[in-house]
Amino acid sequence: MTDLVIVGAGGFARETAAAAAAARRRVRGFVDDDPALHGTTRSGLPILGPVDSVVSMPDTAVVVCVGNPRDYTARQRIVHRLGLPEDRYATIVHPSAELGAGSAVGPGTVLLAGVVLTADVTVGAHVACMPQAVFTHDCRVGDYATVASGVRLGGGACLSAGSYTGSGALIREGVTVGEGSLVGMGSVVLRDVPAGEVWAGNPAGFLRFTKALEEKTA
């Protein structure tokens, strides 16, 4: 089995290391661009060097585990920067996750403990799915999306590429969260969220444009 190197050394990276270990995957360590971390350990695993060092580790699989609500596009930027072929990226699925019939998960994606894909769910590449997220029948999740813990999607809902859905959010069946948009934690989304917008509340409504969209239109 090919060893795994995890890009990043923050909370999500360490959670992914634990999920990989639970799935009996060998984890060689982390890479991170903070030079103060090099030569140290996190969760009992070494920080092997800067992010770009994975390019010179052809015998390893890679998963990129960076990003947070303040910068949820970081994962996509790093994948593009590394330029690795698709087959270098591992898909990490915790043993307690449930993948129903007809469901598919892309390369570089992580499903943490208790994630449920009920039936015919499609999850793209480099998606971060935190514990206990539930995707019901025919849901679609685009590349680079982040789905925080406890999110629930009704049938046929869609989280578009690069979107961020905060902890405990509920997405009504058939609703689409637009590309690059952010849904606040605990929100109840009853209608489509346009691309590049931040929505929150119950029912969820527009708060502002995302930083990325503001910069693009400035």
Kindly list the domain boundaries of the chain, sorted by start residue: 3-88, 92-217
Contact 179, 164 (CB under 8 A): no
Whether the Cβ atoms of residue 198 and residue 216 lie closer than 8 Å to each other = no
Rounded Cα distance between 62 and 131, Å, is 21
In total, the chain counts a number of residues equal to 218
pTM, two decimals, is 0.95
Which pLDDT tens digit goes with each residue over 119-159? 999 999 999 999 999 999 999 999 999 999 999 999 999 99
On whether the CB atoms of residues 123 and 129 are closer than 8 A, the answer is: yes
Query: CA dihedral defined by 162, 129, 11, 77, rounded to 10 degrees?
Result: -20
Fold match, 3-88 / 92-217:
no
User: pLDDT tens digits, the chain, 218 residues: what are they?
Assistant: 689 999 999 999 999 999 999 999 999 999 999 999 999 999 999 999 999 999 999 999 999 999 888 899 999 999 999 999 999 999 999 999 999 999 999 999 999 999 999 999 999 999 999 999 999 999 999 999 999 999 999 999 999 999 999 999 999 999 999 999 999 999 999 999 999 999 999 999 999 999 865 555 44
Domain 92-217 architecture:
3 Solenoid (2.160)
CATH 3.40.50.300 fits 3-88, yes or no: no
Are the C-beta atoms of 121 and 105 separated by less than 8 Å? no
